[in-house]
């Protein structure tokens, strides 16, 4: 799968590496900015109050 994605990247090796880095960075940013905050709403933090 990743090998096929790598082959889809155009251009010489240095451009492919650059593109790969940009794509990975974009995916990480999307995870941190949107996906993880959304997932965390399903995870209950431990209760801290007495009741």
Partner 1 sequence: MGLVIIGVLGELFLTAGVLVLLFLGWQLWLNDIIVGNEQRDAALEFSESLSRDAPEKPSDDEPAGPDEPETPTEPDAPVSTVAPVENQAFATIFVPRFGADYARKIAEGVSLPKILNRPELGVGHYPGTQLPGEVGNFALAAHRTTWGKPFAEIGELQLGDKIYVQTVDGWYTYTFRNLEYVMPTEVEVIAPVPQAPEIEASERFITLTSCNPRFSAAERIIAYGVLESWQPASEGMPAELAALWEGTA
Report if residue 43 touches partner 1, rule: CB under 8 A. yes
Number of residues that bind partner 1 (CB under 8 A): 17
Q: Give me the sign of the Cα torsion angle 36, 41, 47, 49.
A: positive
Q: In angstroms, give the least distance from the CB of 26 to partner 1.
A: 14
Select from 28, 29, 30, 34 the one that contacts partner 1 (CB under 8 A).
Answer: 28
Which value, to the nearest 10 degrees, does the dihedral of the CA atoms of residues 25, 26, 31, 32 take?
70
Specify the DSSP class assigned to residue 31.
I
Q: Which residues bind partner 1 (CB under 8 A)?
A: 1-2, 28, 31-32, 36-37, 39-40, 43, 45-51
């Amino acid at each position: 799968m990743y090998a096929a994605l790598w082959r889809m990247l155009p251009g010489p090796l240095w451009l492919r590496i650059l593109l790969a880095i940009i794509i990975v960075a974009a995916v990480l940013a999307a995870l941190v900015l949107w996906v993880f905050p959304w997932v965390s709403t399903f995870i209950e933090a431990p209760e801290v109050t007495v009741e």
